[in-house]
Amino acid sequence: MKNYHDVIIIGAGPIGSYTAYLLSKKGFNVGIFEKNLSIGKNINCTGIISEKCYKKIGIKEDILVRSVYSIKAYSPSGNHISYYSSEPIAYIIDRMKFDIYMNEMANGEGAKTYLNANVEKIRTDGSSFKIVANINNECREFRSKIGVIATGYCIDSVYRSLYKRRTHYFGIQAKGVIDNLDSIEVYFGNQIAPGSFGWLAPYKGSEVMVGLIVKDDPIRYLKRFLKEPLISHRIHVKEKSIKCSLLPIGMNVKTYGDRVLVVGEAAAQVKTTTGGGIYFGMLCSEIAVNTIIKAFERTDFSENLLKEYQVMWLKKIGPELKAGKVIRSIFSRLSDKQIDILMDIAKRDGFLPMIRNMDFDWHRDAIFYIIKNIISKGLSNF
């Protein structure tokens, strides 16, 4: 049937394409609608993923930029703690190539991707999920049994109603050049990113990604970060490369409705500690796919059945999201001096052995450890 798919997916970012790949593999007729002219445009991401995530998709060699073997964390006074490993701690991928790869995987299983296809209207009725997509300047209507919103965090008028209370952060990042950076460096302090952090991540050759996550005033904080004594003499940044996006860290989103599910960053399925969204988005996409399969088996696309998706994904990552919110809230109340004291305690009191056993994606245990063994000890010194 013309202009019909079993499932319509809005957004060909990694999570939309992954969802399409999984569904197409199961034999569904999937249409992916992407507003950009090509896949992997306008990305703002450092591309850091864990080994688990890397292996989950079996990423091709040319997508991998580098493996990371060490991380350094700096307190406001420049005191630092370093962790080295003989095995990769994380991987840095080329996000543009990654998005293209994920989309090719979906298309390879039979999904159809429409490019330059901005979805301008969404409607559901008793028999279908309907969209109006502006494809190459022509408005066309498409229908499906069910729709998946994978637009990233997007507060355009069509999607705004998903986010009742918008409490987002800004993720700002620039590309620059640096001599000799092998580690990911993380910087704490109220002058850098209050209650959050800034980072340097090595990229291709001498390229570096420098960024931070803040609640307000991202440009001002980034400019100040670049003037930090520990950074300013090492790095040269091109102002034109600065990109800033909204990050829905810790936001509550209703991710289901009649004939519709929301996945990935659009559903705020991002780590509340770091803002990383690729791994959690993929995990939740798998849950969404299982729910969609069930809906087709029962010919029931009602909100009542689809709410199971939200219950399941919150069961999977909800405790992590909550723990991250707790540590963010504690951090946002600390002075620079207090962060310095905590860093001292962490250096002395066996934090590094704990890090060795820490999972790159799951931070809850580390957060409890930090609260119990570091912050509670710090309280007596504050």
Ligand X SMILES: Cc1cc2nc3c(=O)[nH]c(=O)nc-3n(C[C@H](O)[C@H](O)[C@H](O)COP(=O)(O)OP(=O)(O)OC[C@H]3O[C@@H](n4cnc5c(N)ncnc54)[C@H](O)[C@@H]3O)c2cc1C
Q: Which residues bind ligand X (CB under 6 A)?
A: 10-16, 33-36, 44-49, 118-119, 150-152, 154, 171, 173, 211, 245, 247, 264-266, 270, 275-279, 281
Where does residue 58 rank: exposed (0-12), middle (13-18), buried (19+ CB within 10 A)? exposed
Closest distance of CB 381 from ligand X, Å: 33
Partnered with residue 92 across adjacent β-strands are 48, 66
Q: What angle do CA 270, 273, 275 make, to 5 degrees?
A: 40
Closest distance of CB 283 from ligand X, Å: 12
Closest distance of CB 315 from ligand X, Å: 20
Q: Which is nearer to ligand X, 120 or 344 (CB)?
A: 120
Q: Which is nearer to ligand X, 16 or 76 (CB)?
A: 16
Closest distance of CB 143 from ligand X, Å: 16
Closest distance of CB 333 from ligand X, Å: 24
Distances from the Cα of 233 to the Cα of 15, 127, 179, angstroms? 38, 62, 10
Q: Which is nearer to ligand X, 276 or 378 (CB)?
A: 276
Residue 309 token pair: 């998706």
Q: Which is nearer to ligand X, 94 or 340 (CB)?
A: 94
Q: Which is nearer to ligand X, 48 or 237 (CB)?
A: 48
Contact between 168 and 248 under an 8 Å Cβ cutoff? The reply is yes
Q: Which is nearer to ligand X, 47 or 250 (CB)?
A: 47
Closest distance of CB 335 from ligand X, Å: 26
Of the candidates 168, 167, 212, the residue with the CA atom closest to the CA atom of residue 190: 212
Residue 111 token pair: 């999904």
Contact between 60 and 98 under an 8 Å Cβ cutoff? The reply is no
Q: Where are the beta strands (DSSP E) in 18-155?
A: 30-33, 48-49, 64-68, 70-74, 80-84, 90-93, 112-114, 117-124, 129-135, 138-144, 146-149
